[in-house]
């Protein structure tokens, strides 16, 4: 771990500086030696990092959806070149290039967080050993070392010996209870986040090995977190639990407001949108109008959920328009009838009088 920490030492000072700034703020409220002051400083560090990573999160969503949309084509390539792995790989790379999809984009938020995670781990490890690091002087190190969250020092670990925990001024029972609860919460939040994604925000019409892989990861990741968690200091567990809860809430918002086409979440979203449109007689909100406009623009390429939405609107006497608004079907029909009537009137020949009809037409003179 010292080798890994050394690789990320360039960010240790900024991370320690941010923690100290937050600590000075919370210390004025809870007291400088309070576990709440130090714990909330770590939580605030996570929130600050995750806010900065929102653009990467948006890229992750787009990349994940792009990969889901490519699954049928990828499966066709695998079946077509199942005996030629090199050609299969070349065709896959060609497909990624043509569609502008990067499979690694879905890992960007985790990769971007890694330096902060290891820097924080290194900071807490030095605090546990009573060593200064970054901008943390000896006074701050001693304060953080004695700070406790529900009786567990922020530098203590589940696997620490009773002597080491006693040196931090706590009991082994308190440390193990607090760390065990946090590890369970961390693993459960990771499992729920992945489960929410698989059950609600995946195109149900696509059945590929990629989906089976994602389902398998839903069970593997929580186990990995649980095994690694027993070696994490309490402060790191606070960090990771906070980032898991943030991810869960962020993903929940995206699923509710911008679901994957063809997913269960899209069905639920369009059901809410239909109720909104029928109760107000119109679509309010730029995001909702954008969704309706996108569905209208798809035309015959709409999925079953989108077709059901358009049909349901029609049954309620409403018609979706290209600009994302909805109008009463009678108005759309009247406009159509008026246009047809105008065209018919323009094409109808001028009516002859009775005398004109009775007068025989003169033959054309022969040349």
DSSP 124-169: HHHHHTT--BTTB-HHHHHHHHH-EETTEETT-BTT--HHHHHHTT
In degrees and rounded to multiples of 5, residue 226 shows phi and psi of -65, -45
Would you call 297 exposed, middle or buried from its count of C-beta atoms within 10 A (0-12, 13-18, 19+)? exposed
The alpha-helical segments, DSSP class H, found in the chain are 2-7, 12-30, 35-52, 54-80, 85-99, 108-128, 138-146, 162-167, 172-200, 209-229, 234-257, 264-280, 286-298, 304-315, 329-347, 354-358
| Sign of CA pseudo-dihedral 294, 298, 299, 305 | negative
Coil vs helix vs strand at 318: strand
Quote the CA–CA distance of 208 and 161 in Å, as a whole number: 47
Quote the CA–CA distance of 77 and 71 in Å, as a whole number: 10
Q: What is the pLDDT of residue 40?
A: 93
Quote the CA–CA distance of 231 and 179 in Å, as a whole number: 10
Check: CB of residue 235 under 8 Å from CB of residue 154: yes
| Sign of CA pseudo-dihedral 124, 128, 129, 130 | positive
- Residue labelled with tokens 């994302």: 324
Tokens standing for 310? 């358009």
Q: Which residues of 81-104 are buried (b: 16+ CB within 10 A; e: fewer)?
A: beeeeeebeebbeeebeeeebbee
Check: CB of residue 347 under 8 Å from CB of residue 340: no
Q: Which residues of 106-135 are buried (b: 16+ CB within 10 A; e: fewer)?
A: bebbeeebebbbbbbbbbbbbbbeeeebbb
Q: What is the pLDDT of residue 132?
A: 87
Q: What is the pLDDT of residue 334?
A: 45
Kindly report the CA angle at 304 between 259 and 70, in degrees rounded to 5?
Answer: 60
Q: What is the pLDDT of residue 185?
A: 93
Average pLDDT by stretches of 10, the chain with 367 residues? 58 88 92 90 90 79 68 75 81 77 66 79 81 88 87 88 86 92 91 80 58 72 85 88 89 82 84 88 85 87 87 89 84 47 49 56 50
Quote the CA–CA distance of 208 and 76 in Å, as a whole number: 10
Would you call 213 exposed, middle or buried from its count of C-beta atoms within 10 A (0-12, 13-18, 19+)? exposed
Quote the CA–CA distance of 38 and 320 in Å, as a whole number: 54
User: Which residues lie closer than 8 Å to 203 by C-beta, 6 or more apart?
Assistant: 68, 69, 260, 261, 262, 263
Tokens standing for 331? 């108005």
Quote the CA–CA distance of 126 and 6 in Å, as a whole number: 13
Nearest to 116 by CA among 37, 5, 25, 35: 5
In the 8-state DSSP scheme, what is residue 361? P
């Amino acid at each position: 771990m010292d080798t890994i920490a050394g690789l990320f030492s360039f960010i240790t000072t900024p991370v320690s500086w941010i923690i100290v700034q937050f600590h000075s703020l919370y210390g004025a409220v809870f007291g400088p030696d309070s576990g709440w002051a130090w714990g909330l400083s770590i939580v605030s560090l996570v929130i600050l990092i995750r806010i900065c990573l929102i653009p990467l999160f948006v890229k992750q969503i787009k990349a994940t959806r792009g990969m889901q949309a490519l699954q049928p084509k990828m499966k066709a390539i695998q079946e077509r070149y199942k005996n030629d792995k090199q050609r299969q790989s070349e065709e896959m790379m060609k497909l990624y290039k043509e569609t502008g999809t990067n499979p690694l984009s879905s890992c960007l938020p985790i990769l971007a967080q890694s330096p902060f995670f290891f820097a924080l781990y290194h900071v807490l490890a030095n605090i546990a050993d009573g060593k200064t690091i970054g901008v943390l002087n000896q006074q701050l190190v001693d304060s953080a070392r004695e700070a406790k969250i529900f009786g567990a020092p922020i530098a203590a670990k589940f696997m620490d010996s009773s002597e080491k925990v006693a040196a931090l001024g706590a009991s082994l029972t308190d440390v193990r209870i607090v760390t065990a609860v946090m590890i369970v919460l961390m693993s459960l939040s990771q499992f729920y986040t992945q489960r929410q994604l698989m059950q609600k925000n995946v195109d149900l019409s696509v059945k590929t090995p990629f989906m089976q892989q994602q389902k398998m990861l839903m069970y593997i990741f929580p186990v990995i977190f649980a095994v690694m968690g027993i070696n994490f200091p309490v402060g790191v567990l606070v960090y990771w639990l906070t980032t898991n809860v943030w991810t869960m809430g962020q993903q929940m918002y995206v699923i509710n407001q911008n679901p994957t086409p063809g997913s269960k979440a899209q069905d639920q979203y369009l059901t809410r949108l239909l109720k909104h449109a029928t109760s107000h007689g119109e679509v309010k909100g730029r995001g909702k109008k954008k969704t309706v406009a996108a569905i209208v623009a798809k035309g015959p390429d709409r999925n079953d959920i989108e077709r059901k939405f358009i049909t349901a609107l029609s049954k309620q006497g409403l018609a979706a328009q290209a600009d994302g608004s909805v109008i009463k079907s009678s108005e759309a029909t009247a406009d159509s009838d008026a246009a047809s009537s105008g065209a018919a009137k323009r094409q109808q020949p001028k009516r002859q009088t009775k005398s004109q009809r009775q007068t025989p037409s003169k033959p054309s003179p022969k040349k």
